[in-house]
Structure formats: C-alpha cells, structure tokens
Amino acid sequence: MELLKELYGIHSPSGNEKAMKKFIRRYVRRHIPGTSMGTDNTGNLYITKGLSDTYPCIVAHLDQVQRRHSRDFEAIETEDIIFGYSPQNRRREGLGADDKNGIWIALKCLEKFECLKVAFFVSEETGCVGSGNADMDFFEDTRFVIEPDRRGYGDLITEISYTSLCSHEFLKDIGFEAFGYKEENGLMTDVLELKENGLKVSCINLSCGYYEPHTDNEFTVKKDLLNCLGLIEHIIENCVSVYPHEDTGGYDGFYSRIDAEVELWDILGSSPELSMEELYHLYRSSFPRLKEEDFERIYNEYHEFNDEEESWKDTSWKKAGNTRRLWL
C-alpha cells in the first residue's frame, strides 16, 4: 500500500492537479519502461505502454473534492482500512480516494502488463471538464475502457442517465460475478463523457473500495480495492478482442431526473445529518443537470416525507397505547 499512501499524500483539488501529474510522470519514468506520455490543451495525461494493434484501456481522474489538506496530513493504515488524519489538528481529513484509488489501479496495471493505454483526466469533480475535452483519437485502437471510480464494493456500472455503456458480449466475457460484482446504474463520470463524445467501444465504471467520498471521513477498505484490481487484471488478461458498442438510446431528461432524485434520497437516507448546502456542495458535480433549486426541492421533499412518516408512527403508537389501556 506504500504507493497508494503516497498518492493520498498529494493534494490535488480540481483545477490544481499539477503535483499529481508530476508525481505520475516521475513514477512512470522510473518504474515502468517502454511507455510514452503526452498531454492535451486541457491538461489531461495520456500514457501508452508497448506496441499493439489494439489496447486495453484504463481511465481515472486526477482531482479530488476536498479543499482542505493540512501540512502534517497522514494516510493511516490499519489491518483493514486506510483513512486520512491530521495529528496537529486532531481531525480526520479526506484521502481523495475518489479517484486516487483509480490512479493506483492504473499504475499497478501499467507495471504488470506489456501493452496498455491509460488516460488521466483533470477536473472530473467540477463537471468532467477533462474527459469532455479528451483527445478521442487516443481511444481509436482500444478494445474497451475501464474506469475504477465508483464508491463502495461490487457495483459494475453499465448505464448512466439511460445511456448504455457496454455490449452484452463484453459483460458475458468479463466474468464479473466471480468477483462479487453486479450490474447497476451510475452517476455522471468520465466514461459517460467519452461515450457521449463518440467512444465506439464498451466501457464500464467499477466500485474500487472507497467509502464516504467527498467528505473528510472518507476511507478505503483494502480488500475491496484489491478485489477491483483483481477483476480488472482478469479482464485485461482474458478479453483480447475489440468489444464494439454504440448507444442508440440517447438521453431522456425526464427519466434521468427521476433516477437522480432516487440516488439523492438514498444519499440522504445514509447521511441524514447533511444540510442542504452540504448536499449541494458535495454532489452537484455528480448531478450536473440538476440546478441548486432542484437540490433544495429534493432535500425538502425528503425531510417532509420523513417528518410525516415519523409523525404517523408516533400517532399510531399513541393510538395503540390508548387502545391497550382501555382493554386493560
């Protein structure tokens, strides 16, 4: 985990990813021979290893949401998890595991495999700026594209905002069930931008072991991260064909909005202490088509519903208690 903890120690807020790019370039030059690197006008970093007619491809983003990073920040590793901490301030601080876990996976695969393409995008957290302006020629000779940029464990994202990301043939061949993954719908991220920009091969987004993203309580479960790496290595080793795919469904704003509201209700259910301002700040980049007033409406509707439900429960219990007393 030493490389991973080094990545956690590099603060890379959106719009200021220079230190992370510098570290990656230096690491690749020192540890991964046979690679070529380049950038584009947006600041994205592209890496190709080996010579092949077609390449597996991994993408990740360089930026993190957390703006706070103390000088004495440490990545604390226990037997099971890694979390960020400032000893001087005696407080937890975010790792930026979203998406430094993805960066780590990409670098480990570059070390292991003879032929691979990797793209690192800037400013994903502020609306997928990097991937929205990606050099799509880089992906012309790819077999498929994998992004490890999903919280938790076991989610294999095959659809975002009713945009299909991959073919049935690809899903059949990758053997994801053996690694405990299941198909899910996801949120806005780089592979959706690539698909909307004309990516012609299958792509997926995978859970890679980080939890409570976008907060100072963020942590990584090591076994979940390693399981994601294992699945990606399995895919690279066994899927040696090109897996073409083009979405024909298109974006349906109405149903996508409903999908976003369901996701936000789930988020509020797991973090009921969030204020409306915190909800908007932490998740506006994940739902770029929702305005601030949409967040406010969803927040209020959630709490109104739950307040009514609690009131109903209280009334029901009181009625039940009165009935019992009358019976006695």
> pLDDT (tens digit, 9 = 90+) per residue, 20-42?
999 999 999 999 999 999 999 99
**Percentage, residues of the chain above pLDDT 90:** 72
Q: Provide the greatest CA pair distance for the chain.
A: 85
- E strands in the chain: 35-39, 45-49, 55-61, 74-77, 81-86, 91-92, 116-121, 142-150, 155-160, 163-164, 182-186, 203-207, 210-211, 219-221
Q: Map tokens 């907060």 to a residue.
A: 215
Q: With bands split at pLDDT 50, 70 and 90, how would you rate the model's confidence at 246?
A: confident
Cβ-Cβ contacts under 8 Å for 234 (sequence gap 6 or more) = 174, 175, 179
* Rounded Cα distance, 303 and 271, in Å: 12
CA 311 vs CA 269, 303, 304, 306, 307: distances in Å: 17, 12, 10, 8, 6
Q: With bands split at pLDDT 50, 70 and 90, how would you rate the model's confidence at 83?
A: very high
**Which one, of 141, 136, 165, 132, lies nearest residue 48 by Cα?**
141
**Which one, of 206, 182, 188, 317, lies nearest residue 256 by Cα?**
188
Q: How far is CA 140 from the centre of its chain?
A: 24
Other CB atoms within a 10 A radius of the CB of residue 114 amount to 9
Q: With bands split at pLDDT 50, 70 and 90, how would you rate the model's confidence at 252?
A: very low
The mean per-residue pLDDT over the stretch 171-175 comes to 96
* Rounded Cα distance, 246 and 252, in Å: 16
**Mean of pLDDT over the chain:** 90
Round the CA-based radius of gyration of the chain to a whole number and report it: 22
pLDDT at position 316, please?
A: 55
pLDDT at position 280, please?
A: 87
